Structure 1
């Protein structure tokens, strides 16, 4: 082998890049970066959507012949928030009360607020009204036709119970959507205050063995006077 051939073979050939290969590599890097950014943004958006659904409520699609309701997050004591959905017919209302009489099959409803077709957000509260310093149970409904509020002054013995510390038993709808066929009622709130001996025996769907104080609300067909 000649000296010139040996010198040529010992040289390193320069690394060569074609324009097509370089563009392909840049495209792969750009796509990978974009995918990573999109994935992070998607996870952030999904977390934000879950938070908003918890705060404002979400009712999944239901059949046209069903009513639906779910409980929303509330950070205030004796304040209950719900989202409800009703069809155009028959008309519905939300009845409320703080009293379940002894041996009665249902609470003694104090009043009711009409619910328009579609979805509405409902807030039921026990509070002292600053306008007249009287304790009341209030029901406020926000829907497609605006806002409507109704309040009832609480009996003094109920006020004393609500102002003290007691255990509560909770029933009614949860944060998961509950449905019923159109024409039926749906118990939204069944918050019973446990007062006195044997109070634990008052829990359930049956009539209480003694007068029961609590927060009760029901989505029911509007069939006339309470």
Structure 2
């Protein structure tokens, strides 16, 4: 202390002492090193991105395929897989009047056929089969139609079987009294198979179509598999083993 004054003032600047402000400024002004991806990391990120994009595209295509498949099944029907030796059948959609479609699958042995008719006689155990169409092994699409023949203008019921081996057709002329009933707008009892696949073991039959037109008071008693109490007009088709003449 000189002359009553201290040798050092507390606020005096000392160059040898560190300055906090300068330290903070220096620390802010120095740039930090940036994070750079290595080549391996870059390739990994690109691969993950490609996998995500590919997965999204696959999901979109799968949904489109499922939608298209559902539409095709709705338009043409679907036959579920079956064991070897089993018989399978299902109804297929049809948007035409007096036109019926079905899909069937039969084994190699025994031989199968499809019979059709428009008449179930009184007290009979089954319809009076008009004719039969033999079926090749494998899957076939059956179409039954009731319409006038363009060649002779006669009303006929026809059966068509389409398979990878070709197309077969057979037809039967219908009497006028049956045609008038079938063309009428009367109530119809529908049985037979539906759109779900029906499976049967070898040598068993499947009733494909059982469409009964209700005519007169006796029609109200028609139900189940009970034989009709009067001649019944309708559309009948059955998948059965070929055992000779029908």
Asked if TM exceeds 0.5, the reply is yes
Q: What is the deviation of 1:141?
A: 0.5
Aligned-partner Cα distance in 1 for 2:191–2:76 = 21
State the match for 1:67 in structure 2: 87
The alpha-carbon distance between structure 1 residues 15 and 139, as it changes in their structure 2 partners (threshold 3 A), is same
Greater Rg over alpha carbons, structure: 2
Counting only pairs closer than 5 Å after superposition, residues 70-219 of structure 1 correspond to structure 2 as: 70-219=90-239
Aligned-partner Cα distance in 2 for 1:29–1:181 = 52
Q: Residue 42 in 1 paired to residue 62 in 2?
A: yes
> Tell me, which stretches of 5 or more residues in structure 2 are unaligned?
1-17
SS state at 2:191 partner? strand
Length, aligned pairs only: 226
Give the TM-score of the pair, scaled to structure 1: 0.92
The alpha-carbon distance between structure 1 residues 120 and 10, as it changes in their structure 2 partners (threshold 3 A), is same
Tell me if structure 1 keeps the 8 A contact 2:218–2:230: no
Q: What is the deviation of 1:36?
A: 1.7
Aligned-partner Cα distance in 2 for 1:62–1:184 = 15
> Tell me, which stretches of 5 or more residues in structure 1 are unaligned?
none
CA RMSD of aligned residues (A): 1.8
Tell me if structure 1 keeps the 8 A contact 2:103–2:140: yes
Tell me if structure 2 keeps the 8 A contact 1:116–1:144: no
| Off by >6 Å, runs of 4+ in structure 1 | none
